[in-house]
Amino acid sequence: MKTDGSVSQVAIPEEILQRIESRGINRRDFIKFCMATTAALALPVTFVPKVAQALEDNRTPVIWLEFQSCSGDSEAFLRANQPTATELILDLISLEYAEVVMAAAGHLAEEAKHQALEKYHGKYILIVEGAIPTKDDGAYCTIAGQSAVASLKQAVAGAAATIAVGSCATSGGLPAAAPNPSGAASVSEIVPGATVVNLPGCPVNATNLTATIVHVLTFGKLPATDRLGRPLFAYGKRIHDNCERRGHFDAGQYAETFGDEAHRKGYCLYKLGCKGPETFHNCPTVRYNEGVSWPVMAGHGCIGCSEPGFWDTMSPFYRRLPKVPGFGIEDTADKIGIGLAAATAAAFAVHGVASCFRKGNPKDESKVIKED
Amino acid sequence: MAKKIVVDPITRIEGHLRIEAEVEGGKITNAWSSSTAFRGIETILKGRDPRDAHHFTQRFCGVCTTVHSMASIRAVEDALKIQVPDNARLIRNLIMGMQGVQDHVIHFYHLHALDWVDITSALKADPAKTSQIAQSISDWPKSSTDYFRQVQARIKAFAETGRLGPFQNAYWGHSAYKLEPEVNLIGLAHYLEALEAQKDMIKVHAILGSKNPHPQTFLVGGMSIPVDPDSQNAINADKIAWIRKLLRNARTFVEQVYIPDLLAVAPAYLDWAGIGGGVGNFLACGDFPTDNSPGTDSLFFPRGIIMGKDLANVMEMDETKITEYVTNSWYTYSNGDDKGLHPYEGETNDKYTGPKPPYEFLDTDSKYSWVKSPRYLDQPMEVGPLARVLVAYASGVPEVKAAVDYVLKTLNAPAAALFSTLGRTAARGVDALILAQKNELWLDQLADNMGRGILEVHNPEKWDPATWPKEARGFGYHEAPRGALGHWIRIEDQKIANYQAVVPSTWNAGPRDAHGQMGPYEAALIGTPIADPEKPVEILRTIHSFDPCLACAVHVLDGQGTEIVKVKIL
């Protein structure tokens, strides 16, 4: 097998590169993309050829369903860069159904979906955006006359893997915020036995989405996750742990008001309400829009959008978190999550509206395909 | 005998929209527009901190992201009488302006173009002839024969896999597609280029507001992005230069790709200048303050009303004349569903009475949508780029007048041609062009302020809720990409007592009102020719010309008696 000598140990076989080129894809872009993806997945460079192989294989069918959403995750997908949406759609996956971009409409769109569900049964990746309303037999979200609940159950049943994108699909998100007027639920709540990887965020970070897709294509299984079904490569650390302003936090240097000198100098936003200390997400390292920025960098505190129930547990967003300096950095997401949940439950119970509270989205670990 | 057809889902839009239509003699004789999803965000807002509202409302929509943050903070600022610093005005104008440009580019190429451009025909194009046409309409550098040959080859290779992904099962080859193969190839090439261009131009939002979709930078009283030429953690000279480059690239794309394409595609479809007119009444709330004085006199896009297509008479827009009906929507009013209510008195309880899913048809003789029916002086109104451009054109705004006249002259069409499906699509192009050109001015003004040491981005005077009156109410407006947007807030005891939003797609997509008057989508579909009821591409053309955004349109609910209690943290 001939190899590209210039990159020695991470060499991608020449024949793969030639086939890629014959599909109109620039060779250098492809190599760069494989390396970036390998890095995003926290794999050693020796995995680059394996990643390349997986990407070059026949396009994996993907079905993207959208329910009670704002389409923000679909838009995030359009901002993807590693790879771009164009490269994904034309070269890497076969996007069989996605309402925001597909050319077909009405019954012809539905026909395409049903054909894909049948033809690729057991083989397709299902991506779900938006919460699923349960009130009145699911009448609060119907597509082609079918309820979101029914569409979801049908699609999950034949999926090789299901990826819930954004906070609505992963934990009910905004529609499920108290008092949850439409009975909105997450994917895992509607289909409790299914293997689901959760990619929360409002919206999902496109880099985490593409990295998850590529992980599945490369290894044929889902990435290792935490208790909430979130991949460790993206949700394994708190915002606070990797925050570029952490030094100011430790030094006790805080912005007191928006636009004051400390704020302009990039001091810690804790006193302006930042929820970074209780939020597990890789925003500080991956950032958004091709690494341009992220909320703390732009001077606004984190609102905790990757944590279940954040609309209720993290608001008011401009009030500071209690007792952050007391957290040991060794605390786990689970411990903090349980602490928050207990506090929330107590608050609701005191006010007699415990039913408003939904306790996040515990995962049955045995259902998740683990790395080890 | 009329045949009833259903298009559900209407794809290439935001949200869930269903159109039912009766077709007789090759034309639509009756139509019903229905939104089929509901979330209830206003109920969720009750009892919360008004300063948090913009985070919630921004999630009305992730496509026209930012717009509901803008209207929300303006509503709270109106209620609490807060004046924002000049830098905040300019940063907001820049964010709104770039949202308009980027959203219109995505709409034209990715949501609307495939109604007019047949990509299967593009595979038959002659790349040399394509290059010739491209170079005759624009100076855009990517126009060589080799370039178009390469694009064609890539799509051909894709098509030959037999797996067309998002392009399968569409209406390709339909008799309503009229472009020659070469123009189709230009459209296809620019569809792909625009996918790249949109994600670059929107980096302006990331620089000024951390990310897009859903920038996190708005504040009641200003913005949270600091400006300081002497800081590496604020908007400084380096970031100004970066933004300038992105604005310039966006403007070049609009001037050299979007507008030439619009003008190259339109001549083949001039019959659509006589189709899809709709209700003929237009409402614009205006936007882009040109100075920092309170009031609406300084808006670059003026506020106004046009009734019955009468461009000679632009009337004042008064938000107190707005009411919403639920006669045909799945809600009830306590004093009867046939009476319209102003948003401050807005009262809504969701009550689904439609068919149990799965269903084949809606019962259109009764309630049939999750969207309410807003009316101005009891009349249905169209909002959007067409309304905004018409009000500005009729008011004599020089830039708008020049751009509209140029488009009309190029297409050899009278002003009356604007009241149509094609007119709506052309007005969106004009809107994008004007915003792309204005953006640089606002950046210059921001840089000028910074150079003179004016660094304030937030007015902290009323930030502390203890400074607020016991009760207050306010109206927040925004001329969003899809049209006039209004948020109404009532604040009591530092909390949200009531929140209502009347948004562009509520105006346009709403069902019939108590008087049986159709909404703009429905009215625009009447008379639309349908060549093949199995493949109603004509319905998509007119509906997409409005750029529907249904998640925005359905949010309204201020449920009764449910008190929201939240965790108390410091």
| Dist CA B498 CA B341 (whole Å) | 14
Query: Any idea which residue has 């396009």 for tokens?
Result: A59
Q: Cα B458 to the chain's mean position, in Å?
A: 27
Taking chain B, what is the end-to-end CA distance rounded to the nearest angstrom?
A: 68
Q: Chain B residue closest to A346 (CA)?
A: B567
β partners of residue A125: A62, A161
β partners of residue B323: B375
- Are A108 and B170 inside 8 Å of each other by CB? yes
What pLDDT, in 10s, does the model give residues A329-364?
434 444 444 444 444 443 333 332 222 222 233 333
Q: Is B136 annotated as catalytic? A: no
CATH topology of domain B3-553: Cytochrome-c3 Hydrogenase; chain B (1.10.645)
Q: Which of these, A111, A112, A116, A107, lies nearest to B8 by C-alpha position?
A: A107
**What pLDDT score does B329 carry?**
96
What pLDDT, in 10s, does the model give residues A261-296?
999 999 999 999 999 999 999 999 999 999 999 999
A70 interaction partners in chain B (CB closer than 8 Å):
14, 59-63, 65, 551
- Are A74 and B10 inside 8 Å of each other by CB? no
β partners of residue B27: B24, B529
CATH topology of domain A239-351: Cytochrome-c3 Hydrogenase; Chain A, domain 2 (4.10.480)
Q: Which of these, A178, A146, A145, A102, lies nearest to A359 by C-alpha position?
A: A178
A142 interaction partners in chain B (CB closer than 8 Å):
16, 36-37, 357-359
Q: Please report, for residues A303, A314, B19, B568, the alpha-carbon distance to residue A318 in angstroms, rounded to integers and kept in the order given.
A: 9, 9, 42, 12
Which residues, 6 or more positions from B51, have their beta carbon under 8 angstroms from its beta carbon?
Answer: A316, A317, A318, B76, B219, B220, B463, B465
Q: Where are the domains of chain A?
A: 5-51, 58-233, 239-351
Q: Is the confidence at residue A14, as pLDDT, over 80?
A: yes
Q: How far is B282 from chain A (nearest CA, A)?
A: 26
B51 interaction partners in chain A (CB closer than 8 Å):
316-318
Q: Which residues of chain B have pLDDT under 70?
A: 554-570
Q: How far is B402 from chain A (nearest CA, A)?
A: 33
- Comparing CB atoms, the residue among B161, B225, B455 nearest residue A298 is B225
Q: Count CB neighbours of A295 within 10 A.
A: 28
Active-site choice (B18, B92, B395, B552): B552
Helices (H), B138-236: 145-160, 181-201, 203-209
Q: Is the confidence at residue A139, as pLDDT, over 80?
A: yes
Check whether the bond before A316 is cis (ω within 30° of 0).
yes
β partners of residue B399: none
The average confidence (pLDDT) of chain A is 84
Output the pTM of the full model.
Answer: 0.90
Q: Where are the domains of chain B?
A: 3-553
A24 interaction partners in chain B (CB closer than 8 Å):
150, 153-154, 157
Q: How confident is the model at residue A368 (pLDDT cuts 50, 70, 90)?
A: very low
Q: Is B528 exposed, middle or buried (0-12, 13-18, 19+ CB in 10 A)?
A: buried
A83 interaction partners in chain B (CB closer than 8 Å):
none
Q: For chain A, what is the radius of gyration of the CA atoms?
A: 21
Q: Which of these, B185, B194, B192, lies nearest to B119 by C-alpha position?
A: B185
The sign one gets for the Cα dihedral B270, B274, B276, B278 is: positive
Residue B562 structure tokens: 């449910």
Q: Which of these, B246, B208, B211, lies nearest to B227 by C-alpha position?
A: B208
Q: Is A26 exposed, middle or buried (0-12, 13-18, 19+ CB in 10 A)?
A: exposed
Active-site choice (B34, B505, B522, B555): B505
Cβ–Cβ pairs < 8 A, chains A and B: 353
β partners of residue A161: A125
What pLDDT, in 10s, does the model give residues B79-135?
999 999 999 999 999 999 999 999 999 999 999 999 999 999 999 999 999 999 999
Query: Any idea which residue has 């609102």 for tokens?
Result: A303
SS3 B2: coil
SS3 B27: strand
- Are B165 and A298 inside 8 Å of each other by CB? no
**What pLDDT score does A324 carry?**
58
Q: Chain A residue closest to B537 (CA)?
A: A105
Q: Furthest-apart CA pair in chain A: how many Å?
A: 70
Q: Is B61 annotated as catalytic? A: yes
| Dist CA A273 CA A25 (whole Å) | 45
- Are B358 and A150 inside 8 Å of each other by CB? yes
B352 interaction partners in chain A (CB closer than 8 Å):
135-136, 139-140
Q: Are A301 and B267 in contact (CB under 8 A)?
A: no
Q: Is B552 annotated as catalytic? A: yes
Active-site choice (B64, B285, B512, B544): B64
Superfamily of domain A58-233: NADH:ubiquinone oxidoreductase-like, 20kDa subunit (3.40.50.700)
Q: Are B32 and B19 in contact (CB under 8 A)?
A: yes
Residue A65 structure tokens: 């369903």
Q: Are A218 and A51 in contact (CB under 8 A)?
A: yes
Query: Any idea which residue has 């500005």 for tokens?
Result: B392
According to DSSP, the β-strands at B3-7 and A196-199 are unpaired
- Comparing CB atoms, the residue among A86, A105, A311 nearest residue B9 is A105
**What pLDDT score does B206 carry?**
98
Q: Chain B residue closest to A94 (CA)?
A: B165
Which residues, 6 or more positions from A304, have their beta carbon under 8 angstroms from its beta carbon?
Answer: A275, A278, A279, A310, A313, A314
Q: How far is B457 from chain A (nearest CA, A)?
A: 6
SS3 B82: coil
Kindly report the backbone phi and psi dihedral angles of residue A164, in degrees, each rounded to the nearest multiple of 5, phi listed first: -90, 120
Q: Is B505 annotated as catalytic? A: yes
